[in-house]
């Protein structure tokens, strides 16, 4: 009833949409255009023309073995993000919400990895993993074991996935906890009166009430995994070792900035957006966050 008149929509939506269009879509359309040209310089110099090469870059995408690795890694990362980032965060958030004391303490502490910039966290983990004199190998030396090349091709992906997952748990934790706290206490009281155990309260009160927030987290986890860049780039730049840890984000950066193949980088950027959109629409379709409207 209240929301029958559509006029206010303009006021609520338009300012934000204008900003998004001006600073994201318009430049991104430029980026899509770039992917059809052969770009020699990063910036178009006055008086220079670029040659049109059509879909050549997209053809290259289909055969690029690096892209295949990056794609596989990004998809793997999506799965890991949903299961571990959101999963661990949900567990921690529920535990913390049970507490009578110390909630503030944990909320502050769990937030730390987010406060420290990804570059700094990357640096820390780099020093953990170093073959000569890294923390893990210092530790192995103390217990009398041979040093391990932690970033060897076989285990590099896992070693890089760990800090990525770890550093974002706090992020989902805060979001989920905020959502948990928005659930009216009365519902739990009612459930308690009906004789529900803690576990049952989680299943029948918490999770259904959290549907919207939960869906948000999954979408953010999926898209975030797709955009992963800083941490892998600092710990093992350019997909080191041997291109095994390339993600779509790092591959795009390498192509654009390190190699200077701007047009190919643009094509990868386009793929990232399209793929991410498809996945998040699928998530929306599966979880139907608007079901209770």
Partner 1 sequence: MKKKAKWLALFLTIVLALSFVACSSKNGSKSDNSRNTGVTPADKKNPVTLTTVSMFGGTDPNAPNYQAIISQFMKDYSYITIEDDSQVSDQDWKTRIAADFAVGNEPDVIQYFIDANASDVLAADKFVTIDEIRAEYPDYAKDTLDSALKAAANPDGIERAVPTTGYWEGLYCNKDLFKKYGLELPTTWDNLLQAIATFKENNIIPIAVSLNNVPHYWVEALILSAAGSEGYTQVPETVPQDWCTGLAMIKTLRDMEAFPKDTDTIDNDFAGELFKSKRAAMKLDGSWFLSSIPDKQNTVITAVPVMPGGKAKEGEIIGGISSGFYITKKAWEDPDKRDAAVKFVMANTNKEGVTKYWNGSGQAAVSADPIKDMTPLAISGFEYSNKASVTLLPIDSRISQEAYNTLIAGIVDISTGAKTPEDLLKEVLDINAKQ
Partner 2 sequence: MKSSGDAKEHKRFSIRKTVTYLILALWAVTTIFPFVWVINNSFKPSAEVVNTSFSLPKKFILTNYVNAFGKQDILESYKNSLVISGTVMIAVMFLATMMAFAMTRYRFRGKAIVNAIILSSLMIPAFSTIVPVFKKMAQFGLLNLPVSVILPQVAGNLSFATVVMMGFLRGIPLEMEEAAYMEGADVFKVFTRIIMPLSRPSMATVAIFCFLWSYNDLFTQLIMIRRRSGFPISVLLNEISSRYGTDYGLMASSVTLIIVPVLIIYAFLQKYIIKGLTAGALKG
* Cβ-based nearer residue to partner 1, 110 or 129: 129
If one asks whether residue 158 binds partner 2 (CB under 8 A), the answer comes out as no
Structure tokens at 282: 């699928």
Among the listed residues 46, 54, 144, 195, the single contact to partner 1 using CB under 8 A: 46
Please, what is the Cα angle at 221 between 217 and 222, to 5 degrees? 120
Decide: is 197 part of the binding site for partner 1 (CB under 8 A). Answer: no
Region near partner 2 per CB under 8 A, out of 48-56, 60-68, 75-83, 166-174: 166-174
Question: 128-151: b or e for each residue (b if 16 or more CB lie within 10 Å)?
Answer: bbbeeebebbeeeeeeeeebeebb
Min dist CB 110 to partner 1, Å, is: 25
**Which among 63-71, 152-160, 222-230, 238-246 is the span making contact with partner 2, rule CB under 8 A?**
222-230
- Contact between 96 and 103 under an 8 Å Cβ cutoff? The reply is yes
236 binds partner 1 (CB under 8 A): yes
- Listed in order, strand segments (DSSP E) in 86-153 are none
Applying CB under 8 A, does 6 fall inside the site for partner 2?
yes
Q: Which whole-number Å values give the CA distances from 104 to 170, 174, 178, 188, 287, in the listed order?
A: 13, 11, 12, 21, 31
Q: Which of residues 258, 274, 278, 288 is near partner 1 by CB under 8 A?
A: 258
Q: Which of 25, 95, 105, 257 binds partner 1 (CB under 8 A)?
A: 257
Distances (CA, A) of 250 to 37, 67, 189: 22, 10, 49
When asked if residue 127 is in the footprint of partner 2 (CB under 8 A), the reply is yes
> Can you give the C-alpha Rg of the chain in angstroms?
23
Instruction: Mark the segment that binds partner 2 (CB under 8 A) among 53-61, 79-87, 118-126, 144-152.
Output: 118-126
Among 218, 254, 289, which residue's Cα sits nearest to residue 64? 254
| Residue 207, contacted partner among partner 2, partner 1, none, CB below 5-8 A by kind | none
Q: Which is nearer to partner 2, 153 or 282 (CB)?
A: 282
* Nearest CB to partner 1, comparing residues 43 and 62: 43
Rounded CA-CA distance 59/167 in Å is 36
Which listed option, partner 1, partner 2, none, makes contact with residue 281 (CB within 5 to 8 Å by class)?
partner 2
229: Cβ–Cβ under 8 A, 6 or more apart, which residues? 247, 249, 250, 253
Confirm or reject binding of residue 153 to partner 1 (CB under 8 A): yes
């Amino acid at each position: 009833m209240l929301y029958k008149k559509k006029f206010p929509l303009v006021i609520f939506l338009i300012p934000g949409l204008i900003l998004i269009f001006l600073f994201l879509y318009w430049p991104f359309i430029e980026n899509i255009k770039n992917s059809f040209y052969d770009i020699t310089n990063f910036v178009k110099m006055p008086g220079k023309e670029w040659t049109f090469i059509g879909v050549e870059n997209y053809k290259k995408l289909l055969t690029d073995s690096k892209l295949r690795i990056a794609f596989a890694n990004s998809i793997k990362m999506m799965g890991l993000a949903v299961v571990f980032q959101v999963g661990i965060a949900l567990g921690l958030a529920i535990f913390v919400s049970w507490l009578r004391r110390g909630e503030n303490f944990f909320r502050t502490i769990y937030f730390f990895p987010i406060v420290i910039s990804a570059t700094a966290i990357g640096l820390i983990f780099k020093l953990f993993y170093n073959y000569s004199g890294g923390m893990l190998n210092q530790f192995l030396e103390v217990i009398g074991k041979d040093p391990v090349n932690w970033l060897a091709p076989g285990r590099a992906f896992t070693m890089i996935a760990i800090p990525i997952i770890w550093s974002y748990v706090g992020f989902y934790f805060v979001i989920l906890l905020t959502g948990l706290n928005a659930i009216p206490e009365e519902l739990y009281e009612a459930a308690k009166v009906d004789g529900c155990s803690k576990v049952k309260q989680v299943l029948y009160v918490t999770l259904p009430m959290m549907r919207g927030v939960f869906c948000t987290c999954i979408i953010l986890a999926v898209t975030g995994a797709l955009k992963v860049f800083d941490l892998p780039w600092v710990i093992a730049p350019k997909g080191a070792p041997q291109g095994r840890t390339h993600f779509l984000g790092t591959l795009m950066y390498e192509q654009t900035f390190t190699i200077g193949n701007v047009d190919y980088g643009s094509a990868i950027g386009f793929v990232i957006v399209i793929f991410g959109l498809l996945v998040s629409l699928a998530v929306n379709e599966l979880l139907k966050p608007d079901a209770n409207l």
